[in-house]
């Protein structure tokens, strides 16, 4: 047995085999460097790296989820519609608020074809005012499906306030 081990070691350390071993090492190093370069190129070309680094750094530095500033800007525009004095703008504010909630729930990963289906998957632990949101969503449906539906400023403010509470509970604002 000892003789076989000595023969194997002497074969592996022989000059012809050392040349092949050196060649294999060089080839593996080149192959590894090519794979590493390809990985870096694919990461830079994809949005995953941007999402993981830039968005997380932004969230860490501002102590707020990424995209909240954009939501707040759209929300200010939506609530500004209530100051116009026109019923059509009140209706539009309700529709925009409902659409914003739909977008936020989609981004949070709640599945379903419609906002109603998404809201069916939400519990009161996730959104404490889910029942109120279902009622104000019905107001939005009335606005969409009934052209003669009347919406007062007070009712519009209550609906928009319910959506705002939902956004705050979902930490979207």
**Band (153; pLDDT cuts 50, 70, 90):** confident
Least Cα distance to 116 among 129, 101, 126 occurs for 101
**Band (11; pLDDT cuts 50, 70, 90):** low
Q: 162 or 8, which is more confident?
A: 162
Least Cα distance to 71 among 106, 97, 108 occurs for 97
Does pLDDT of 87 surpass 90? no
Domain positions in the chain: 2-45, 65-169
Q: Going along the chain, which residue ranges are E strands?
A: none
* Model pTM score: 0.63
């Amino acid at each position: 047995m000892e003789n076989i081990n000595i023969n194997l070691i002497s074969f592996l350390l022989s000059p012809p085999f050392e040349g092949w071993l050196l060649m294999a090492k060089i080839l593996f190093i080149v192959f590894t460097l090519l794979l590493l370069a390809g990985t870096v190129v694919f990461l830079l070309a994809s949005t995953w790296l941007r999402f993981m680094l830039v968005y997380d750094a932004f969230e860490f530095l501002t102590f707020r989820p990424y995209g909240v500033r954009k939501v707040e800007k759209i929300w200010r525009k939506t609530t500004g519609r209530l100051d116009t004095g026109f019923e059509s703008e009140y209706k539009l504010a309700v529709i925009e608020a409902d659409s914003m909630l739909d977008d936020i729930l989609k981004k949070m990963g709640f599945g379903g074809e419609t906002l109603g289906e998404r809201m069916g998957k939400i519990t009161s632990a996730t959104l404490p005012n889910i029942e109120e949101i279902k009622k104000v969503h019905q107001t939005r449906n009335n606005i969409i499906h009934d052209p003669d539906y009347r919406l007062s400023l007070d009712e519009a403010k209550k609906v928009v306030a319910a959506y705002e509470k939902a956004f705050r509970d979902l930490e979207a604002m």
